[in-house]
Amino acid sequence: MVKRIITAIVAIAIFVPICYFSDYVVFPIAIGILCAISVFEISKCLGFTEPKRLVLTIPMYIIALGLPILRYYLTTNSEFMLYAMGLAFFMLMYSLAYVMLRKNADNVSDILMLYAMFMYVVGCFTSIVIVRYTGFEGKYMYLLIFLGAWICDTFAYFTGRLLGKHKLIPEISPKKTVEGAIGGIVFTIIGFIVYALILKHQFNYEMPIYQICILGVVLPIVSQIGDLVASSIKRQYKVKDFGNVFPGHGGIIDRFDSVMLVSPTLCMINAIISLF
């Protein structure tokens, strides 16, 4: 427990300054590093870290590191998406060519699973940067990604400990409960309302209450789905943690599994109803 607390304090001490200077390239660089490490973690989980497979994974690491940084230097999301789709298509063709040239030494389904998880990880982390640099409001809205995931995680845990009686999906995550999931949503809504009040009174930026409530319901639900997806993958591949970057907490994906799916969801919601 002491190790977990110390790790959390150190992580927060690093995370807060990075967010504070999110106007600068240090922010997308930090996200790119997290993204590249996460791709390595999923590659390790799937068994693709042997030296003979570096020819396949190295381009993935480069794209994972570079794509969030690329968004910082481009003017619009539409311009960025052209590059992103081009790189995604290139990586797909590259992966299929790898299978062909290896003469089926690797299972095609394993390669496609790696590609799918690469797309998932890179898409989710890059979406954080997309939200941050979308319009003037992005500098306020992107924090909802982290708040939505971590408030939900924290209060789902405590609510589940205090009130939990009905298991959520015990086959995937035995400790999660229905009561905990509901508690996570309720406290996320409260947290978002508090955040909106802070923005209004301290930064003169007002968010409509209906938008806050919609996000307060949708984002924690998605957050919990992301957590369960990561748990399901670990169970399938029989690993306890994706990595050990955070002593006592696991790897990057272990700590950001609930954050990852929230960011593209917020991107899509904004594209549909123009939140910001």
Q: Where are the domains of the chain?
A: 1-133, 139-276
Given a cut of 90, whether residue 122 has pLDDT beyond it is yes
Question: Which of 98-107, 139-148, 161-170, 247-256 is the least confident region?
Answer: 98-107
Tell me: pLDDT of 2 over 70: no
Tens digit of pLDDT for each residue in 229-241? 998 998 888 888 8
- For residue 271, what pLDDT is reported? 83
The predicted-structure confidence for 151-188, as pLDDT tens digits, reads as follows 999 899 899 988 888 898 888 888 889 999 999 999 99
Question: What pLDDT score was predicted for residue 151?
Answer: 92
Under a CB-based contact definition with an 8 Å cutoff, are residues 168 and 184 in contact? no
| Rounded Cα gap, residues 60 and 94, in angstroms | 10
pLDDT of residue 1: 57
Mean pLDDT of the chain: 89
pLDDT at residue number 244: 81
pLDDT band at 92 (very low <50, low <70, confident <90, very high): very high
- Residue 105 pLDDT more than 70? no
φ, ψ dihedrals at 176, nearest 5°? -80, 140
* Contact yes or no for 125/262 (Cβ under 8 A): no
pLDDT value of position 253: 93
- The average pLDDT across 83-106 equals 88
Does the structure show a pLDDT above 90 at 124?
yes
pLDDT of residue 211: 87
Distance CA 11, CA 197 (A): 27
Average pLDDT on 96-112 reads: 82
> What per-residue confidence (pLDDT) applies to 272?
83
- Annotate the chain with three-state secondary structure: CHHHHHHHHHHHHHHHHHHHCCCCCHHHHHHHHHHHHHHHHHHHHHCCCCHHHHHHHHHHHHHHHHHHHHHHHCCCHHHHHHHHHHHHHHHHHHHHHHHHHCCCCCCHHHHHHHHHHHHHHHHHHHHHHHHHCCCCCHHHHCHHHHHHHHHHHHHHHHHHHHHCCCEEECCCEEEEEHHHHHHHHHHHHHHHHHHHHHHHHHCCCCCCHHHHHHHHHHHHHHHHHHHHHHHHHHHHCCCCCCCCCECCCECHHHHHHHHHCHHHHHHHHHHHHCCC
The per-residue pLDDT for range 238-251, each reduced to its tens digit, is 888 898 877 767 88
Answer yes or no: is pLDDT of 260 > 60.
yes
Predicted pLDDT of residue 146: 94
Are 146 and 219 in contact by the 8 Å Cβ rule? The answer is no
Q: How many degrees, rounded to 5, is the angle at CA 262 between CA 216 and CA 161?
A: 65
Residue 141 has pLDDT above 80, yes or no: yes
Q: Determine the pLDDT at residue 20.
A: 85
pTM of the entire structure? 0.92
Grade residue 65 by pLDDT with cuts at 50, 70 and 90. very high
pLDDT in the model for residue 43: 94
pLDDT at 276 over 80: no
